Structure 1
């Protein structure tokens, strides 16, 4: 019976049901609050709002949100009623960078507008709790996806001539894969050298090639120049001649400083190139005149890191929340990156003595780890 309630809670919107709701906008018996939307008919707003407690570490909030949709938007007696349904979280902001995605700040502004529009409002919290607004409150709490959907359905559902039942998957019985392996890497020396590139003229580029051979697996290139030439906005590119550009750096030098850096997994041995280009900061013709014939040279400092590749056990399913921990018996600096079976390189991780690699999702296949 509970699973049926879950399905009803998710899919009643399709069925033409009647759901108990809060006050609607009525003046002398005439509805005046409907508005046109993307729906097939005008929507009548209800003086309510529903909040689902946000939990980034589980699917409980996602199921609760889905179950609450037909309670917050429903069709009854030839009319479409709706009120806001939002995720709720209270997050302390530690820096200005976090303001953009600050949901609690957005909720605050929204509720100021919604309360001003509604006057009296009913707030329903689902796995959340707050009393910061002058409103009528109700609460639904549960740690079980079927139970929480059943409570939503029992509270809001009155009758229906038809229903559609869908069975929810159980995300709490995921297939898990664990394992460990011990490997050893022979001692090797980092190769460091420099090449000089002339200053690029106009909006063109200059390029210089070099050779990369075994046993190197990772490359870093850095270019710095005199801070007194801060108006020069030079960009840096790195090429594996067998496949093309593998990385590019285009710092805004007025803010970041007079340097550019690129890095990459070494996909192929043989000829590689670095390139320098001008980033115009004024009119193109002025730039071409300004940069022509400068006669300066830029030093590209190149580091080649030796390493080895180790094959991981095959993964035969879509893997989420992947965590790979690597520890070394010496407190040395090293890096590691994940390689797919088609030799696609994931973002590198670097650490001293140990590091932790995390991925939200990777597909199935035969993966490898490159340690450098």
Structure 2
């Protein structure tokens, strides 16, 4: 149940009144640029057709009531002025954290009733949490007349996830959900949040981008993500820069020679190289050579696997099986330790490549993955 009318109807059943509106915000896949966002580097995500949908009505009594169509749990009722970071509120921490972050920033948000439903797969590295955060922020921004722009809403949503939920993510996921446009990938500079909408109509080129959800669940709050972020920050400190974005790619060999241990060298090499891969992909897309980005994707996966070490056997198998079946390129996407991979294929080869991946999973004894096309879609918007 995820259409605007269905979500609005369920809202009325729950709360005994019609919502003030219905909004949606998408999940995302990241084409290239992984673990570069918190290093103030470059990323290139695109929004998925899969969305979190929220029916929302404003309240003026300080009460926040939250319900999810996707969780077998009762309605959650909280006080907006009593919200406490890191209180382990489960799924409700994401929308509640947005209310907390807005209030912390000085915005007048006294309460709301929300009913949410999402088609973004959870635990798949497709930013289901960012979609929940952004749709909440987008709705409250409009209902409370806060006047925030897309990047402003993304920063609020990121703060909710960082400070309230406790996941030290960068801003890419929230920016993609808030700011992507239909038919485009988002070239994002994570230092100043400047963006460029890059045309990405694969169908017109006879191409398709497949998402392979391995169904291996990842949990970024388990410390592995934070450890890598700390390692990147340590590398920047040793190199005397504020963030690894400031290390030029051509200076990478000299920079690596200054680092004291293998772990830090691996992390720095990945981040600086992946920033460079984003620039290479942009150059190829601008030149109209879309097929040539395939090897860059596969190269990026090797870096994530070997330098950052955030892949897993299932993700590696997607990439190797897809490449062996004639894919143009493939890589894991998202935070890693499970989740999803993307595969760039000729449209006519999509079925054969998909079969190859599925067969490989059967042979390996892995859970059957979910495969679907990624079509560059619109960011957050009002639906009703």
Q: What's the TM-score once normalised by structure 1's chain length?
A: 0.20
- Higher gyration radius (CA): 1
Q: What's the TM-score once normalised by structure 2's chain length?
A: 0.19
| Greater RCO structure (CA 8 Å; 6+ sep) | 2
